[in-house]
Structure 1
Amino acid sequence: MIETKKTKAVIYARVSTLLQEFPQTQISSCKSFCEARSFELVKDYVDYGVSGRKESRPALNELIKDARRGKFKIVVVAALDRIGRDTRHLLNLFNELAGYDVKVISLRENLDLTAPIGQAMLVIISAIAELEVNLTRDRIRNALAAKKRQALETGNGWRTGRPPLAVGIAQEVHRLLASGLSYSQTAKALNISKTSVARIVKSSKTDIVPKT
């Protein structure tokens, strides 16, 4: 009797260290799925404390390299947002993996890119996710605009952007820079950011040319 060759699969998980998540929660469900599908599980890839919007992640980068080398054919994730939260990145990633003949299966969304219906669903889900992000951005923008109008009408002093630096900080910045300190040394001495030092210098009419 000829033994059927099993399809090689891997698991990708991404956990938040801030929320004290554990990868085993995601990996366990993915392993059960692989066993049910009779996949040969060859490796787990886990990224710790990395945003899903970052395209470059240590474990994900390693997964892509191994996919290019033909080490597996299926990537299983517990949920779509574990592998990415940016629509453009998701679509580009799945297209790249498809170029290596690798498909993705997401358990929560019941998304199986090994099937045509799964590929169609990916486009729909990604579009909805992008819409939610844009709606949230619009709500924030509208709320800030309303607060700004209210501030102008009531004179309550509310403003957006960076908070103003304490009175006298600009003078101290120029004094320290004139004494020969660098941007970084000045920032450290005044407990402000190097960006704030540069901003003060840029907005000033002084002829000081400090060291960077």
Structure 2
Amino acid sequence: MSSIGYARVSTAGQDTASQVARLKAAGCDIVREEKASGKSRDGRSELETILSFVRPGDTLVVVKLDRLGRSTRDVLNLVHELDQKGAALRVLEPEISTAGPMGKVMLTVLGMVAEMELGFIKERQKAGIEKAKAEGVYKGRPITLDHSKVKALHAEGIGATAIAKQMGCSRGAVYKVLNQ
């Protein structure tokens, strides 16, 4: 039976050192760390490695629940996978474990709260962007595609696929310009 730590940060500018220290202090024999978004499990090779070698009786340990994922569904799927392998999940902050039935209930509730908080963050972000746009501060993503050239090539009878290839962009980008 091993305690396997998992430390994750979202961007290269962040550091996993404090998470690693807490996981080792909590008795983790192995600590895997990565810098990847928690939006989905895609690109999270260290987490996949842990899931591939976790054995019955092992415990996956994270400092906070949001280190595993942002959505309730992702976290619950992960807990289910661990359960199928006879392993458990332990969260240090707040201290919970899926080893017993009460821990699974708490984890579900905390996952829902984490997902709700993400929704609040997105709402605040959207409101901030709308305010900045109204004040003329936020102009959105800069235009990198020459719209007039796309329209000129289209006027010459060149199709969207050929334009996209010539301009080094996607067909969708070409259609977006042509439909404006």
TM range (shorter): 0.7 to 0.9
Deviation at 1:186, TM superposition (A): 2.6
After superposition, the C-alpha distances for 1:105-131 in whole angstroms (9 at most, x for unaligned) are: 111221222233322211111121222
Aligned counterparts of 2:82 and 2:157: Cα–Cα separation in 1 = 52
AA aligned opposite 1:75: L
Asked which structure has the greater CA Rg, the reply is 1
Where does residue 119 of structure 2 map in the other structure?
A: 134
Structure 2 contact 4–59 (Cα < 8 Å) conserved? yes
Where does residue 208 of structure 1 map in the other structure?
A: none
Unaligned runs of 5+ residues in structure 2 are: none
**Between Structure 1 and Structure 2, how many residues are aligned?**
175
Aligned counterparts of 1:144 and 1:16: Cα–Cα separation in 2 = 22
Where does residue 168 of structure 1 map in the other structure?
A: 148
After superposition, the C-alpha distances for 1:13-43 in whole angstroms (9 at most, x for unaligned) are: 112343331x3321111111117xxxxx2x3
TM-score of the pair, normalised by structure 1:
0.65
Unaligned runs of 5+ residues in structure 1 are: 1-6, 36-40, 151-155, 205-212
Where does residue 37 of structure 2 map in the other structure?
A: 51
Question: 1:196 pairs with 159, 173, 179, which one?
Answer: 173
Aligned counterparts of 1:62 and 1:109: Cα–Cα separation in 2 = 25
RMSD of aligned C-alpha atoms?
Answer: 3.6
Aligned counterparts of 2:140 and 2:22: Cα–Cα separation in 1 = 45
Question: 2:4 pairs with 10, 17, 24, which one?
Answer: 10
1:122 and 2:107 are equivalent in the alignment:
yes
SS at match of 1:178: coil
After superposition, the C-alpha distances for 1:45-77 in whole angstroms (9 at most, x for unaligned) are: 2222x111112311111111112xx27611111
After superposition, the C-alpha distances for 1:113-170 in whole angstroms (9 at most, x for unaligned) are: 223332221111112122223344556677889999x9xxxxx9x999997x766244
Percentage of matched positions with identical amino acids:
23
TM-score of the pair, normalised by structure 2:
0.74
Where does residue 94 of structure 1 map in the other structure?
A: 79
Aligned counterparts of 1:168 and 1:129: Cα–Cα separation in 2 = 45
